[in-house]
Every structure is written in C-alpha cells, then in structure tokens.
C-alpha cells in the first residue's frame, strides 16, 4: 500500500501548483494567485482585517476536520468585515505546517477555504506557505465599503442595542467536545465552523447603525469594547436574550447554566449593533438592551447569574 503523500514529498511549489488553480476568481480580481501580489479593482473605501488560527489554540485536529478549519479561517475574517458594514471581496491565506502534514489534509483545508469564500462571495487571491511546528492558518480579508464605516465608537445614550445571529452555540459545542462527546451536531458544528450573518452587517449600516461589533470573545466582553470606545454604559436585558431549548437541554446534561454561554461564550460571530432611538433595527436584529450614560456593561433581570465577561488571549 502506497503511503499517503506528505507536504515534505510535494514541497511548497508542488502544493501551490495543485491548489491555486482550484480557487475561482471574482469580477473585482484583475490578477489572482501566481504572481508576487494580487491586483484588485475596488470601489469605495477599503476595509482590511486579519485573524490567525493556531492548532491547539483555535482548533484541534481530533475535533475539527481540515474542511472545518478552512471554512472557519475565512468566516472569522469575513465576520469582522461585516461588522464594519462592509462586504468581503478577497482573502489571502498564510499557511504554516509541519513537513509531515498529509497532502490530503491540506487539500481538504483548501476545499474549506473555497466553500466558505463562495458563501461569503469573495475570492482567495493568494498567500504564502512555510514550514512550522504546528498548523497555523492566517487569513487577511479585504472588503469594500460604500458608505461610512460603522465603528465601535459611535454608540450614544438612548441608542437601542440589538444582536443578529446565534449566541452561546459555539461555547456549548466546546463544552460538549471537552466532555468527549460529538453531538448534538447543532452545537458542535457551530464550534467547528461559525455561521456569521455576513449580509446583515451592510444591512445594519444602511439602517443607520451607530456602532457595531463582531461577537467573537463573548457578548459582554465585546459590548464592553463598544462601551469603552464610545464612552457609554450598556445595559443588557437578560429577559430579552434568547436561550434556545437546545442550549437548555445540553446545560441540564452538563450541569451548566446556559445563560453563561449566551453572555460570555465566544466564537459564534454574531453581530451586536446599536441604533438611534426611534429607528427600528432591520429584520434579523433583536433588541436586547440600551445605551446610557456612564461606562461599562451590566445585565438586568439575571441577578442570580455570576458570569465571566469572555475570552482574552494572554490572560492566563
């Protein structure tokens, strides 16, 4: 039986020659992968962000497939672009991997990058590959913005706070995986690959959102970033937050409080935004609180819950 090909067998250029032609290119791409840099034809302001996924930190190979990792690498970046009110046009991918990484795993990773890019409506236009001790996927996304960016600093007293997308699913899925289980899939799959509401970022911008953020570190932590940047206090009404039965049922089985997943669980990549008083949030955004004078974030209605704010790297 022929052993599976490894990255050491194909080399960097052999790998690139096999995967680069598989990425379709959109209308904005004048020059795609294969040269020193890509060339894009962009209208409006340009939005750029980057995220890094490290094996053992952001994903585990025994929990996530390579396809999951590829999709997640694009998703977390496109969610950031959406949170600015913009649309992702292109991504570039930096990949570090050990020499003994199976080529089949990298091919599957490529398929995941391609699949999520198709969902977002963007093109993979290039990147780089290097040898490294663990698999590391770094994606930089480029987006276009036709109007003004929606930043974290625009919330004002009287604004309504609203969210769009799921909250708590990824944290619940992680809790399930840590217990050694692989189901329910509705929770585990969101941890493996989030489902950001990409189109709702630009829709919120068009609906006069005053601030917006991608919920990646937890609702309270990320609303805390908005409160700090805007110089305001944000009150979250626990009674308005949806705690689906899927979360409640799993929490009963694990002896957990599902509300902590909703408030502090990261990696769902929902959108949280603020809207001026009297301006209804667009469909898909659910009002959950309000902006007031002061600083910080508080939760009303769930006084019996003691919850950490969210995840922070290097916090120990």
Whether 38 is in a domain gets the answer yes
User: How far is Cα 249 from Cα 216, in angstroms, rounded to an integer?
Assistant: 24
Residues 118 and 180 in one domain: no
Per-residue pLDDT of the chain (316 residues; tens, 9 = 90+): 666 787 677 766 666 667 677 778 888 889 888 777 789 899 889 999 999 999 999 999 999 999 999 999 999 999 999 999 999 999 999 999 999 999 999 999 999 999 999 999 999 999 999 999 999 999 999 999 989 999 999 999 999 999 999 999 999 999 999 999 999 999 999 999 999 999 999 999 999 999 999 999 999 999 999 999 999 999 999 999 999 999 999 999 999 999 999 999 989 999 999 999 999 999 999 999 999 999 999 999 998 787 655 444 434 4
Q: Which residue, 103, 120, 311, 295, is CA-closest to 197?
A: 120
Q: Dig out the tokens for 304 from the structure.
A: 């019996």
H helix runs in 20-168, sequence order: 66-83, 103-120
Rounded to 10 degrees, the C-alpha dihedral 276/278/281/285 comes to: 90
Q: What is the pLDDT of residue 310?
A: 46
Residues 174 and 272 in one domain: yes
What SS3 state is found at 137? Answer: strand
Q: What is the pLDDT of residue 108?
A: 97
Q: Dig out the tokens for 246 from the structure.
A: 């899927």
Q: What is the pLDDT of residue 7?
A: 66
Whether 197 is in a domain gets the answer yes
Residues 199 and 93 in one domain: no
Please state the pTM of the whole predicted model.
Answer: 0.89
CA distances from 304 to 99, 200, 238, 262 (A): 51, 33, 11, 15
Q: Dig out the tokens for 95 from the structure.
A: 């990949």
Q: Which domain, by its residues, includes 120?
A: 9-14+23-145
Whether 86 is in a domain gets the answer yes
- Identify each DSSP E strand in the chain by its residue range: 29-31, 39-40, 45-54, 87-97, 123-131, 136-145, 160-164, 211-215, 233-237, 270-275, 286-292, 296-300
Q: What is the pLDDT of residue 155?
A: 98
User: At a CB cut-off of 8 Å and minimum separation 6, what does 287 contact?
Assistant: 160, 161, 162, 240, 281
Q: What is the pLDDT of residue 9?
A: 73
Residues 140 and 226 in one domain: no
Q: What is the pLDDT of residue 314?
A: 35
Report which DSSP code applies to 126. Answer: E
Which residue in this structure is represented by tokens 């396809």?
67
* CA atoms within 13 A of residue 99's CA, in its CB half-sphere: 3
Residues 181 and 290 in one domain: yes
Residue 137 belongs to domain with CATH number = 3.30.1330.10
CA distances from 226 to 22, 30, 152, 239 (A): 39, 37, 5, 21
Residues 60 and 90 in one domain: yes
């Amino acid at each position: 039986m022929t052993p599976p090909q490894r990255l050491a067998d194909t080399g960097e250029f052999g790998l690139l020659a096999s995967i680069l032609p598989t990425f379709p290119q959109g209308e904005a791409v004048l020059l795609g992968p294969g040269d020193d840099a890509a060339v894009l034809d962009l209208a409006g302001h340009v939005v750029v962000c980057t995220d890094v996924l490290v094996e053992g930190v952001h994903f585990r190979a025994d929990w996530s497939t390579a396809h999951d990792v590829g999709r997640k690498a694009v998703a977390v970046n496109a969610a950031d672009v959406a949170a600015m009110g913009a649309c992702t046009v292109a991504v570039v991918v930096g990949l570090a991997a050990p020499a003994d990484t199976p080529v089949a795993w990298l091919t599957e990773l490529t398929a995941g990058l391609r699949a999520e890019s198709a969902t977002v409506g963007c093109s993979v236009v290039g990147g780089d590959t290097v040898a490294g001790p663990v698999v590391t996927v770094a994606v930089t996304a480029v987006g276009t913005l036709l109007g003004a960016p929606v930043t974290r600093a625009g919330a004002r007293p009287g604004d309504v706070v609203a969210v769009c997308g799921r909250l708590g699913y990824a944290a619940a899925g992680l809790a399930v995986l840590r217990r050694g289980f692989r189901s329910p899939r509705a929770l585990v799959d969101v941890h493996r690959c989030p489902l950001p509401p990409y189109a709702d970022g630009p829709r919120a911008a068009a609906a006069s959102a005053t601030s917006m953020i991608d919920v990646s570190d937890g609702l309270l932590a990320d609303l805390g970033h908005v409160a700090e940047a805007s110089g305001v206090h944000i009150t979250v009404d626990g009674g308005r937050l949806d705690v689906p039965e899927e979360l409640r049922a799993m929490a009963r089985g694990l002896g957990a409080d599902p509300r902590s997943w909703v408030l502090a669980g990261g990696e769902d990549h929902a959108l949280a935004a603020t809207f001026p008083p009297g301006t209804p949030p667009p469909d898909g955004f659910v009002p959950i609180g309000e902006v007031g004078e002061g600083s910080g974030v508080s939760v009303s209605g769930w006084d019996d819950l003691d919850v950490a704010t969210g995840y922070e790297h290097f916090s120990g």
